[in-house]
Amino acid sequence: MNAPRSGKGILIWSFLLVSGILFVQPAPAQEAAKDPFSDDFLTTSSGLHYRILAPGNDRRAGDGYRVVLRMKGHTDDGTVFVNTPATGRSLRLITGSGQMVAGLDEGIRLIGEGGEILLKIPAPLGYGDRGTQKVPPGSELFMQIHLQEISPHPVTVIPYHTTEKDTITTPSGLKYIIVRPGDGPHPEKRSHVSVHYTGYLPGGKIFDTSLLKGEPFTFRLGDPKIIRGWNEGVALMHTGEKVRMIIPWKLAYGKKGLPPLIPPKTDLIFDIELLEIHP
């Protein structure tokens, strides 16, 4: 049988209870994580919204720079479409090559190597009305980017020299200039061919090029996924030939264009070299 507590013990026990020392204190409510995209953002002339978290060093990326990125991104409905920290891998991309959506390509140039930035990319600078498997059409993109590395030696693209060379126009309206004749055969119908190319908008801005990607582009002549101007023009080339093609919009991406890269009803210029015809 336990001995009864002394009066002094009861007083001490009462004091501890009243003072709250022996009460089990409720755990403080966990503070909700702050949404990093809720703060104010700056806006570029293109409509890209950004907030720089860390400016990085003085090395900046221009066209043709190889960059190493870690990034997390979700759509406006919360769907995660990229999360490189979760995979433990970084992305290696080339600026100005068409490998990135326009908003990302623009945004990473606002910081230096080692920098970090938040981007809110409107649909026209993202995947536009076409979307992707993970991004619904018309979605705004929310991205947090860490620019880990920038190659100090960019790849340069030199436009073909076409002065004093003849322009040939086909019945479809396709125009082409032979910059360097080739001595190999023409590709046959439905041949698989490999080419190097650079695509320019009418003002001279590059919107896509295989040269910066470091490998040629291979496709089948007649493939309906390839624009009509390419299917017609490459079939006219000899292996080893370099040609500049001026492709009217009706033979390119048509009335709708290919937002955000190519506006509606836009004529395109392509410098193309036919490297190889595959059996």
Helices and strands (H and E) in the chain: how many: 4, 14
* 227 touches 64 (CB < 8 A): no
- 253 among known catalytic residues: yes
> Are 218 and 230 spatial neighbours (Cβ–Cβ below 8 Å)?
no
Which one is catalytic: 127, 197, 269, 277? 197
| Residues 167/234, Cβ–Cβ less than 8 Å | no
Query: Is 40 a residue of the active site?
Result: no
| Catalytic one of 63, 105, 208, 271 | 208
84-101 b/e with 16+ CB inside 10 Å = b? beeeeebbebbbbbbbbb
Of the residues 94, 111, 227, 272, only one is catalytic, namely 227
Q: Is 208 a catalytic residue?
A: yes
Q: Name the active-site residue from 65, 176, 200, 207.
A: 207
**Could you confirm whether 50 is annotated as catalytic?**
no
How are beta strands 206-209 and 217-220 bridged, if at all? unpaired
Say how far apart CA 240 and CA 148 lie, in whole Å.
38
Residue of 238, 228, 225, 223 lying closest to 272 (CA atoms): 238
What CA–CA distance (Å, rounded) separates 45 from 98? 20
Q: Is 207 among the catalytic positions?
A: yes
Active site residue 227: yes
Catalytic residue, from 142, 176, 200, 253: name it: 253
Residue of 94, 270, 271, 277 with catalytic role: 270
Catalytic residues: 197, 207-208, 227, 253, 270
